Amino acid sequence: MSRANSDDSPSKPPQGESQPVARSPDKAASRRSTINRICIAIIVTGVAYIALSLWNQWRRRDAGRPEPGASLILHQPVVRVPIRLEGRPIVAVTINDRGPYRFLLDTGAASVHVSRHLAKELDLPIQPGTRTETNAAGETNVCQLVKVRSLRMGEAELTDFVANMHPPREALEQHDGVVGFSMFQGCLVTLDFPAGQLTIKRGSLPPADGKEILPLVSGRSVPTVEVFVSDKPMELVIDTGSSGGIGVPERVSRTLSYDSAAFDTEARSSGDPIVARHARMAGEMRVGRHRIDSPIVSWLPGKKGHAGFGMKVLRHFVLTFDSANRTVRFARNSEDPIQMRGFRTIGLVFCFRKGKRTAKATIHGVNPATPAAGLDVKVGDEVLSANGRPFVEFTDAAMKELFGRVDTVTLELKRGDRQFTVDVPVVERP
């Protein structure tokens, strides 16, 4: 019998009905496998995204806390430490029972920093790994780590912790390290700038009232509060490490209204000069019940920067931080609005460079809106001294102190083989 007439042969479907398309088992399995891989990839990506988000939240939460094992010991119930104001607050510190050393008290820094020269002098043990922090210009710095057995300010002592190690930012650095906000976790800390005193004790502030006692913005490793600019909210870091006024990112500066034209000033730099731009804002800024009339706002052109208060504003206050309850008190004796003075400058931008054995300062720019533009000063001139002091010894704070107490600065310059002096008037802007 032929196969066509066999009972085992499959019957043809009636005419007009569609016949199912036979699929290869291998192709169907391959398609299911591909779909499964895609589903697994989507699930893994989602889980990784959620895990990364949770990690970032945890990292921000813990970024300002001391290292595991670190503890702040108060050897007296109330610890008082003198503050020396040199544009920024300086305190005396001992490290591993040696010192005292000059440390910057910087609430805008999350960690404790030790300069490279001090770490070498004290032979501090290098620790594995690095720590990344962002400065006020929005630039990221990767720091090596060192182990510190003891850091002491008066009768307050932080023990057994890891500090950041960083090189000096200036040719002749004027402080040996930085005490960051993390050192004071769990304490009630008062920075009384008018009296020049730091007080550390256990305790807490009353609840936030929105007037003098403000809540700190959550999720930040450094103290940040909400202020109001012409009734619009803005978050500002409380940054005692800045000698300036009110800093904002460049993108924020474009959204504000001003009563004056922008004005540039120089900042001391060990490489290319940093130029800061300032303008007096229209209206007022409110910090709780406190008002700042027509504040001067500053930003760094071409750099990210951050939004924060500097010492030109903070010096008017007695600040008390309650890190446990995440609040801060802004207190001052006067009810009058704060009036911010302009910047005193000679209108020159300087570039400082340090070699292995020598340091050199040159003029990098001349502001055309100042009297310096009409004097015999040129870009490239070497600056030997200012009012008789070697110019390479000047820090930002020292230059500002000089400009603040004199009306004319005598510069000794060198151009080629010629050495000469020029009297440059000090002006206030804006």
Place of tokens 């800390």: 189
Rounded Cα gap, residues 430 and 342, in angstroms: 5
Provide the residue type at 159 as one letter. Answer: T
Give yes or no for a contact between 247 and 135, defined as CB atoms under 8 angstroms apart: no
- 358 and 315: one domain? no
Number of structural domains found in the chain: 3
For the chain, give the percent of residues with pLDDT over 70: 81
Cα dist. 36→30, 31, 57, 75 in Å?
A: 10, 9, 32, 63
Per-residue pLDDT at 1: 43
Rounded Cα gap, residues 268 and 277, in angstroms: 14
Residue 121 inside a domain? The answer is: yes
Q: What is the pLDDT of residues 191-205, one digit of tens each?
A: 999 999 999 999 999
Residue 40 inside a domain? The answer is: no
Other CB atoms within 10 A of residue 405 CB? 9
Q: How many residues does the chain have?
A: 430
- 176 and 208: one domain? no
- 185 and 291: one domain? no
Rounded Cα gap, residues 91 and 107, in angstroms: 13
Residue 116 inside a domain? The answer is: yes
- 174 and 140: one domain? yes
* Listed residue (51, 29, 30, 32) closest to 40, CA to CA: 32
Cα of 240 vs its chain's centroid, Å: 10
* Among candidate residues 177, 200, 223, the one where a domain is terminated: 200
- 214 and 331: one domain? yes
Output the six-digit token pair for 317. 């206050």
Output the six-digit token pair for 132. 């990344």
Give yes or no for a contact between 110 and 220, defined as CB atoms under 8 angstroms apart: no
* Among candidate residues 341, 370, 396, the one where a domain is terminated: 341
* Among candidate residues 169, 200, 231, the one where a domain is terminated: 200
- 412 and 353: one domain? yes
Residues of the chain short of pLDDT 50, as ranges, are 1-10, 18, 21, 55-69, 170-172, 269-271
Per-residue pLDDT at 390: 93
Per-residue pLDDT at 7: 47
Name every residue whose Cβ is closer than 8 Å to that of residue 148 and which is 6 or more positions away in sequence: 95, 96, 112, 114, 124, 158, 160, 161, 162, 163
* Listed residue (169, 207, 176, 215) closest to 354, CA to CA: 169
Residue 28 inside a domain? The answer is: no
Output the six-digit token pair for 355. 């070699």
Look up residue 135 and give its DSSP letter. Answer: -
Rounded Cα gap, residues 278 and 343, in angstroms: 9
- Domain CATH for 409: 2.30.42.10
Q: What is the per-residue DSSP string for 160-209?
A: EEEEEEE--SSTT-S-SEEE-GGGGTTSEEEEETTTTEEEEES--PPPP-
Residue 35 inside a domain? The answer is: no
Element (H, E) at 105: strand 98-105
- 210 and 182: one domain? no
Per-residue pLDDT at 63: 38
Residue 37 inside a domain? The answer is: no
Per-residue pLDDT at 77: 96
Which phi and psi (to 5°) does residue 375 adopt? -105, 170
Per-residue pLDDT at 349: 82
What is the C-alpha end-to-end distance of the chain, expressed in Å? 111
pTM for the predicted model, two decimal places: 0.75
Rounded Cα gap, residues 381 and 84, in angstroms: 34
- 127 and 236: one domain? no
Indicate the pairing of strand 177-179 with strand 113-115. antiparallel
- 170 and 135: one domain? yes
- 287 and 303: one domain? yes
Output the six-digit token pair for 231. 């009734």
Query: 127 is in which domain, residue-wise?
Result: 71-200
Per-residue pLDDT at 155: 96
- 318 and 358: one domain? no
Residue 400 inside a domain? The answer is: yes
Element (H, E) at 270: none
Provide the residue type at 246 as one letter. Answer: I
Q: Is the dihedral of CA 122, 111, 133, 241 positive or negative?
A: negative
- Domain CATH for 143: 2.40.70.10
